[in-house]
Amino acid sequence: MRPLVAGNWKMNGLASSLKELEAVTAKLAADPAGCEALVCPPFTLLAQAAGIAKGVLALGGQNCHPAPSGPHTGDIAAEMLKDAGASYVILGHSERRQNHGERDGDVALKVQAAWRAGLTAIVCIGETEIERFSGDAHDICATQIDGSVPLQATAANTVIAYEPVWAIGTGRTPTSAEITQMHAHIRGNLVRRLGAGAAEMRILYGGSVKPDNAAEILNLAEVNGALVGGASIKSDDFLRIIRAI
């Protein structure tokens, strides 16, 4: 499988920020990466980003509504993301689960909406600090897989991103052994739920991935790429992570 390094800009970026995307695109056009590279900017920049990244970087949205259209002020449909140039969408991110009360069932509906629009869904799962240190991390991730990943998921239409919530934006990361163990656990649960084809589904690690720890993390067993937060907004940092594969 081809690794995937996905940059999530979150609620960051103005039109001037596109110069960072231009820099990444130019470098990858001249020297292609050994992985698939993806950037998920805010919705306001997606169409402009498509004009810059076409053919070199993949683009994605950071969320979508389950419905294709309707009276949903402030929401965005998967079809709108596709129309603006996206090929991926991040769903079930811990910040959506925590700040907006999204449940596993809500995420599953959005995954199906992504597929309906022809997008690949990046489904986020992961435990909080309390869940990790109470010994419940594996059970939490297994439950989220069962509730958030529809049975129709395949390696072609779905990517899983494991994000230990307690590591996001904190500079803290699990040990290499802990990451390897969790990714193996996730793989086993995907195969249990979806069948042998899930052995080819990409599992990304997300949780304070930075240029100085990327090589160690990205070369661990069952780590098929990364979901990168703050470091993806700076072209030099994002390129160093991409090159770490």
pLDDT of residue 227: 98
168 CB neighbour count, 10 Å cutoff: 20
pLDDT of residue 243: 97
Percent of the chain scored above 70 by pLDDT? 100
CATH classification for the domain delimited by 4-85+93-228+232-236, as one of 3.20.20.70, 3.40.50.1820, 3.40.190.10, 3.10.310.10: 3.20.20.70
The pTM of the full predicted model, rounded to 2 decimals, is 0.97
pLDDT greater than 90 at residue 187: yes
Q: What is the mean pLDDT of residues 143-165?
A: 97
Tell me the two tokens of residue 226: 């990364």
Q: What is the mean pLDDT of residues 41-62?
A: 97
pLDDT of residue 168: 81
Residue located via tokens 């811990």: 94
- Annotated catalytic residue 163: yes
pLDDT digits (tens, 9 = 90+) for 155-171: 999 999 999 998 887 77
Catalytic residue from among 65, 163, 183, 185? 163
pLDDT of residue 172: 80
Tell me the two tokens of residue 241: 């992570």
Q: Which amino acid is at 144?
A: Q
The domain segmentation of the chain, as residue ranges, is 4-85+93-228+232-236
Percent of the chain scored above 90 by pLDDT? 93
Q: How far is CA 150 from CA 24, 76, 97, 239, in A?
A: 34, 21, 18, 33
pLDDT greater than 90 at residue 215: yes
Catalytic residue from among 20, 65, 79, 93? 93
pLDDT greater than 80 at residue 8: yes
pLDDT greater than 80 at residue 147: yes
The two beta strands, 120-125 and 88-91, are parallel
pLDDT of residue 93: 97
pLDDT of residue 42: 98
Q: Which pLDDT band, with edges at 50, 70 and 90, does 54 fall under?
A: confident
pLDDT of residue 171: 76
- Annotated catalytic residue 93: yes
Q: How far apart are CA 233 and CA 170, in angstroms?
A: 17
pLDDT of residue 169: 76
Residue located via tokens 């698939």: 36
Q: What is the mean pLDDT of residues 35-41?
A: 98
Q: What is the mean pLDDT of residues 39-61?
A: 97
pLDDT of residue 217: 96
pLDDT of residue 116: 98
Q: How far apart are CA 83 and CA 179, in angstroms?
A: 36
